[in-house]
Amino acid sequence: MSKILVEFFYDIISPYSFLAFEVLQRYKPVWNLDLKLKPVLLGGIMKSSGNSPPAVVPNKGAYMATDLKRLQKYFQVPLFLPDNLMDLIMKGGSLNAQRFITAVDLQKHEYLEPISREMWLRLYKTHKDITEIESFQEAGKAIGMDENTLQNALKSINDVSTKQRLRKYTEEALEYGAFGAPIIVAHSREGPEVFFGSDRFELLAHVIGKPWLGPVPTSPKL
C-alpha cells in the first residue's frame, strides 16, 4: 500500500507540538505514514494570523499548565513546563533554535527528527537553554551528530538559504490556514485535511481510514 503523506509544521517552543511529534513518530509504521517534518516560526504564524499566545490571557495560561500536566501523563512524553516559560516565549523566543534545526535539516536530513526531539527535551525535560550556540553544540553532540555536519549547521544558522527555508515552511503553514502550532496536514484523494494541535488524532485516524490505538500504540495495555 502507498504511504499516506502527512506534513507536520512545528516549533519547539510549542509544548503541544512536542506531544503531537511523538505520537506521529509512533504511528509512522502503524499508519504507514510518509511524515514530512517542517520547522516553522510560531511567532511569525501568530503575528500573521493575528493570534496571541494562550498564556497572555491569565485564565488560558492557568488552564494550559493544568492541561499539559494531564497530557504529559496521557501521551507518556517527558514534558514538564519550566518556571520561566513565559520569559522564554516573550523574550528569548525560538528563532535561533528553529534556524538551527532548519540548518541541520539542510545539511543532513536524517538528523532532523533526533535534533528536534533533543531540543524539546532540553526545553521541557531538563530545562536547559535553547537560544545560544553552545546549547546547539551540546544538542548536536547529544544525538551523536558528526562533527562536520554540526559545525556546518552552526555556521549556516544565519545564511540566506536557512532563513528562506524557515520562511518557506512558515508561509506554507499559513497558506493551510495556520494560526498556531502544531499543524498536521494529511493528504488524501480528496485533498489536504488540516488539523490543529495535539488532540485530533481520533479524527485524523477516521479521515485517513486508520485505527486509533491510543497515544502509545505498542503499549501492552491496549
Cα separation of 105 and 99, whole Å?
10
Strand partners, 191: 188
Q: Does any domain span residue 213?
A: no
Q: Coil, helix or strand for 125?
A: coil
Label residue 55 exposed, middle or buried (CB < 10 Å: 0-12, 13-18, 19+). Answer: middle
- Distance from C-alpha of 22 to C-alpha of 12, rounded to nearest angstrom: 12
Q: Can you give the CATH number for the domain in which 39 is found?
A: 3.40.30.10
Q: What is the pLDDT of residue 165?
A: 98
Q: What's the number of domains the chain is made of?
A: 1
Tell me whether residue 220 is in a domain. no
Residue 155 falls within a domain, yes or no?
Answer: yes
Does residue 12 belong to any structural domain of this protein?
A: yes
pLDDT above 80 for 34: yes
Residue 78 has pLDDT above 50, yes or no: yes
179 vs 188, more confident: 179
Asked whether residue 219 is assigned to any structural domain, the reply reads no
* Run of H or E including 180: none
Q: Is the pTM of this model over 0.75?
A: yes
Residue 61 forms part of a structural domain: yes
Average pLDDT over residues 120-149: 96
Confidence (pLDDT) at 156: 98
**pLDDT exceeds 90 at position 194:** yes
Can you read off the three cell numbers belonging to residue 183?
Answer: 499543524
The residue range of the domain holding 171 is 4-208
- 113-134: average pLDDT: 96
What is the predicted pLDDT for the residue at 65?
Answer: 87
For residues 26-36, give the mean pLDDT.
97
Distances from the Cα of 152 to the Cαs of 55, 139, 199, in angstroms?
A: 36, 14, 37
Residue owning grid cell 499559513: 174
In a domain, 100, yes or no: yes
User: For the residues 107-132, what does the mean pLDDT come to?
Assistant: 96
* Cell output for 197: 494541535
Nearest to 108 by CA among 143, 150, 64, 47: 150
Residue the block writes with cell 502507498: 2
Count the Cβ atoms, other than its own, within 10 Å of residue 174.
Answer: 17
Q: Which residue has the cell 488524532?
A: 201
Per the domain annotation, does 217 fall within a domain?
no
